[in-house]
Amino acid sequence: MGAEIIDGKAFAAGIRDRVAEEVARLKAAGVAPGLAVILVGDDPASEVYVGHKRKATVAAGMASFEHRLPADVSEADLFALIDRLNADPEVHGILCQFPVPAHLDERRTVARIDPAKDVDGLSVANAGLLATGGDALVSCTPLGCLMLLRDRLGNLAGMEAVVVGRSNLFGKPMAQLLLRENCTVTIAHSRTKDLPDVCRRADILVAAVGRARMVRGDWVKPGATVIDVGITREAHPDKPGKTRLVGDVAFDEAEEVAAAITPVPGGVGPMTIACLLANTVTAACRIHDLPEPDGLTA
């Protein structure tokens, strides 16, 4: 009998419904949550992502502010826009779609965003709050993974968790969230000795390295819950000229061992935009000193 398939698409739909309810509540209190997205240049993948975010924002009843800048925009002009959005009372969340052109520095760009409106959770201020147990705005993908784990497992305290990947965007905040849930956490990476043995210890195995099917089935502890964050596009073996998305986990192998596993696509991916909307609601509540909704934050 194979593992339970964790349906991130269905769970994310539920989060978006909750967000829409909270947006209606906030509007009744005189607050209309607004999300501003900045897109620099014309990267095709970024165009698609921004389109999805705009559609989801409007569907939830939020105000959507989209700002498109040319690829050769100066840092000064980009920062001037961010400063205006920081001061705009109708904007509660600000997101600059990455990657940006090489002449712009992503860290400096994130640092320019008011931490109270940093709904991507990437600022040093929010990372520090997360690490020290404060009320951070948490990076959207790790937050989505935590929601899926809580829904599947309930209380995570005492479980051994292994996060494969140490990026600032995902690996580190994911580890911090699991620590806050009282897991015993190991962060593994490409230089970890005996990586398969480390993974086999995990009750919760989270893979986020961007290498297709790196985590094999015999790396998975029987009965573990596996969260696959990786997304790689490759040629489809049965459809010439077509491509398909695969994760960091060899799904067919791991499914035979794990108790539960997220698919790619349809697992973690849909949670990211849902949690971006949830973070925008949380930011609006905090900015206006209103009660925060349960179940939409870490």
Query: What residue has token string 């292994």?
Result: 162
Spot the catalytic one: 17, 43, 88, 97: 97
List Cβ neighbours of 112 (8 Å cut-off, separation of 6 or more): 79, 82, 83, 86
The mean per-residue pLDDT over the stretch 280-292 comes to 97
Task: Let me know: does 282 contact 137? Beta carbons within 8 Å.
Answer: yes
Q: Is 167 annotated as a binding residue?
A: yes
Q: Which two tokens stand for residue 37?
A: 């997205």
Confidence band for 190, pLDDT divided at 50, 70 and 90: confident
Regarding pTM above 0.75, the answer is: yes
- Residue 120 is among the residues annotated as catalytic for this protein: yes
* Catalytic option among 53, 117, 172, 221: 53
Rounded distance between C-alpha atoms, residue 129 and residue 139, angstroms: 12
Tell me which of 118, 120, 228, 248 is the catalytic residue.
120
Is 133 annotated in some ligand binding site?
Answer: no
Residue 71 or residue 241, greater confidence: 71
* Domains with residue ranges and CATH for the chain: 30-115 (3.40.50.10860), 140-269 (3.40.50.720)
What pLDDT, in 10s, does the model give residues 3-53? 999 999 999 999 999 999 999 999 999 999 999 999 999 988 899 989 999
Mean pLDDT of the chain: 96
Told to judge if 53 belongs to the known catalytic residues of this protein, a careful annotator would answer yes
Dump pLDDT digits (tens) for 248-266: 999 999 999 999 999 999 9
166 annotated to bind ligand: yes
Please give the Cα distance from 248 to 41 (Å, whole number). Answer: 29
Q: What is the CA angle 160-163-191, rounded to 5?
A: 115
**CA atoms of 128 and 115, how far apart (whole Å):** 11
**Catalytic residue check, 17:** no
In sign, the C-alpha dihedral spanning 83, 87, 88, 93 is positive
Establish whether the linkage from the previous residue to 115 is cis, with ω within 30° of 0: no
Predicted pLDDT at 203: 98
14 annotated to a ligand binding site: no
Q: For 216-225, write each residue's pLDDT tens digit.
A: 999 999 999 9
- Report the pLDDT value the prediction gives residue 124, as an integer from 0 to 100: 96
pLDDT of residue 1: 61
pLDDT in tens, 149-172: 999 999 999 999 999 999 999 999
**Do the Cβ atoms of 212 and 250 come closer than 8 Å?**
no
pLDDT of residue 45: 86
Cβ neighbors of 92 (< 8 A, separation 6 or more) are: 33, 34, 35, 117, 119, 280, 283, 284, 287
Which H/E stretch holds residue 59?
A: helix 44-59
Asked if 105 contacts 111 with a C-beta cutoff of 8 angstroms, the reply is no
Q: In which residue are the tokens 């994310």 written?
A: 12
pLDDT greater than 80 at residue 196: yes
Phi, psi of 238 (to 5 degrees): -110, -5
